[in-house]
Amino acid sequence: MTRSRILTLAVLVLMLSLMGFGCAKKAGGPGDGSGTSWEDQEKARLEQERALREKMGQAANELAQMIHFAFNSSNLTAESRQILTRKAEIMRQYPQIKVIVEGNCDQRGTAEYNLALGERRAQAAAQYLSKLGIPADRLSTVSYGKERPLDPATTEAAYAQNRRDEFRATY
C-alpha cells in the first residue's frame, strides 16, 4: 500500500514537472529583456536587412563598385576618388551600413608581397573614406593578395582587372 502511494506521488510530481516545462515562455537572447526567442530576433534582423537593401536599390550597386590600381601601386586615381566620394555620400545617407574594403592584386609577385600590397590598397580606400567623414568604426579592411583573381588569364588586361579593391556592405 505504501509503495502504491509513493509511486502515485512520483507520477504526480513527474506530470506537474512536465506541465511546467510545456508552459515555459520562450527564452530571449541573453539579457536582452525582449522576451522573444533568438530565432525571432534573427528573423526580424534579416527582414530589416532585406528592407534596407530594397530601399537602397541603385545605391547598393554603387556601393559594390570596384576601384582599380596601376601596377605595383596603391595610389588612388582620380576616377577612384570619384567612386569613393559617391560611396561616402551613400554611407552618410545610410548610417547603419558598414563597409569591408577588400584589397586584391594580380598574380605576379610573391604571396607575401601581394598580401602587403592588397592591404595598402584597402587602407588607401578606407583612409580616403575616413577623410570624407565616414567614421573608422564603419570601415574595415582585408587583403586577399593574389588569391582571388577575377580573371585567371596571364594577359595585361586580366592583370589590370585583378588589381582592385572590392567593397562589401554589411548591415
Q: What is the pLDDT of residue 54?
A: 79
What are the strands of the beta sheet with 139-145, ordered from one edge? 67-68, 164-170, 98-104, 139-145
The list of the chain residues with pLDDT below 50 reads: 1, 16, 18, 20-30
Q: What is the pLDDT of residue 2?
A: 58
Q: pTM higher than 0.85 for the full model?
A: no
- Please check whether residue 169 is in contact with residue 99, taking contact to mean a CB–CB distance below 8 angstroms: yes
- What 3-state DSSP class applies to 22? helix
User: CA-based Rg of the chain, rounded to a whole angstrom?
Assistant: 27
- What 3-state DSSP class applies to 123? helix
What are 125-160's pLDDT values in tens digits? Answer: 999 999 999 999 999 999 999 999 999 999 999 999
Q: Which residues contact 68 (CB under 8 A, 6 or more apart)?
A: 77, 80, 160, 161, 163, 164
- Please check whether residue 68 is in contact with residue 84, taking contact to mean a CB–CB distance below 8 angstroms: no
Cα 161 from Cα 69, distance rounded (Å): 9
Q: What is the pLDDT of residue 27?
A: 44
- Please check whether residue 147 is in contact with residue 117, taking contact to mean a CB–CB distance below 8 angstroms: no
Q: What is the pLDDT of residue 59?
A: 83
104, burial (CB in 10 Å: exposed 0-12, middle 13-18, buried 19+): buried
Q: What is the pLDDT of residue 10?
A: 58
Give the Cβ contact number of residue 81 at 10 Å: 14
